[in-house]
Amino acid sequence: MITAKDIAGHLQLPLTGEDILIECYAQLSDPKPNSVVFAKKYSDEYADRLNGCDRILAIVTPDYAGKLKCNYIVSSNPRLDYIRLLSRFFAPQKPKGFIHPSAVIEEGAVIGKDVFIGAGCYVSSQSRVGDGCVLHPRVVLDNTVSLGKNCEIKSGAVLGQEGFGFERDSDGNPVHFPHFGDVVVGNNVFIGSNTTVERATLGSTVIEDDVKIDDLVQIGHNTRIGKGSMVTVGAIVCGGAVLQPQSYLAPNVSVKEKVTVGRGGFVGLGAVVLKDVPDEAVVAGVPAKEINRNK
């Protein structure tokens, strides 16, 4: 049983109104009795809708304070606090301590505690999977891949295979550059479905702690994705590129090889990044050009 006070206590924020029973979550457009909703911006329409609801808890901005008849919690970031309460009270617990019989774990692989490895996964003999990791069905960890703690890798992701590195010989024929490096993934990293992370030619491809990578992303050899960065769907990060911590790539961005996106940089939808992006810069376009600064 979950109550409004339970949620307020978890968020460490005061509750205005009654301590009602909370049975479900709901959208602001379709609130239900005994549900919890959020409003990340103020409007009279939203306020009227909330005031017309019975037995509801709303997570709202300070603009709503004193204007609501329903039960509410004032938050400086309602969406973030809504995520926090959903994760604590409603989200299903990730499975732990299970390896599907169809998974192939080669001798020599190191598997940590409370790890879930789904159907059809492959983990090479030189790979390491940290405590609490979740590998959804058909994940491949090939050659030498090291996962930190509490990583989640979605279905179809492939980490550690060789990249597309060729040099033409005197006859113009492409000759493949053998890859001898590895992939190093930090703690609390999320990697989406059908994403590829190439092993380094020499050295390491590195994904630092708390990085979140979406579905259908290509991470080239010898790249470094800095702590807390986010790379969204369809992005391509070419070999040797660097994303400094807290950077963000919008959908379908391409980053040229050996280019650096600075700390806190924001690259807009579909941009093609051909030169370094300064810290905190917002860039967009083809080729990408600076249009603003975050700070």
Give 110-167 pLDDT, tens digit per residue: 999 999 999 999 999 999 999 999 999 999 999 999 999 999 999 999 999 998 888 8
Q: What pLDDT score was predicted for residue 97? A: 87
Q: What pLDDT score was predicted for residue 295? A: 59
Asked if 222 contacts 241 with a C-beta cutoff of 8 angstroms, the reply is: no
Give 249-265 pLDDT, tens digit per residue: 999 999 999 999 999 99
| Cα–Cα–Cα angle for 12, 1, 87, rounded to 5 degrees | 50
Across the range 58-87, mean pLDDT stands at 95
Annotated catalytic residue, options 10, 136, 179, 221: 221
Q: What pLDDT score was predicted for residue 133? A: 96
Q: How confident is the model at residue 64 (pLDDT cuts 50, 70, 90)?
A: very high
Asked if 125 contacts 107 with a C-beta cutoff of 8 angstroms, the reply is: yes
Which CATH number does 98-293 carry? 2.160.10.10
Query: Where exactly are the structural domains of the chain?
Result: 2-89, 98-293
pTM, full prediction: 0.87
Taking CA atoms, 80 is separated from 7, 39, 76, 86, in Å, by 13, 11, 9, 10
Q: How confident is the model at residue 1 (pLDDT cuts 50, 70, 90)?
A: confident
Number of C-beta neighbours around residue 286 at 10 A: 11
Question: Selecting from 3.30.70.3270, 3.40.1390.10, 1.20.140.10, 3.40.50.300, what CATH number does the domain 2-89 have?
Answer: 3.40.1390.10
Known catalytic residue: 179? no
> What is the rounded CA–CA span in Å between residue 114 and residue 244?
31
> What is the rounded CA–CA span in Å between residue 258 and residue 289?
17
Q: SS3 of 63, please? A: helix
Q: How confident is the model at residue 294 (pLDDT cuts 50, 70, 90)?
A: low
Give 174-189 pLDDT, tens digit per residue: 998 889 999 999 999 9
> What is the rounded CA–CA span in Å between residue 202 and residue 222?
8
**Residue 236 belongs to what H/E stretch?**
strand 236-237
Give 83-113 pLDDT, tens digit per residue: 999 999 998 877 778 999 999 999 999 999 9
Across the range 68-78, mean pLDDT stands at 95
Stronger pLDDT, 53 or 271, i.e. the higher one = 271
| Cα–Cα–Cα angle for 115, 185, 229, rounded to 5 degrees | 115
**Which of 9-13, 226-230, 289-293 bottoms out in mean pLDDT, i.e. has the lowest?**
289-293
Give 16-46 pLDDT, tens digit per residue: 999 999 999 999 988 889 999 999 999 999 9
Rg (CA), the chain: 23
> Please, what is the average pLDDT of the chain?
94
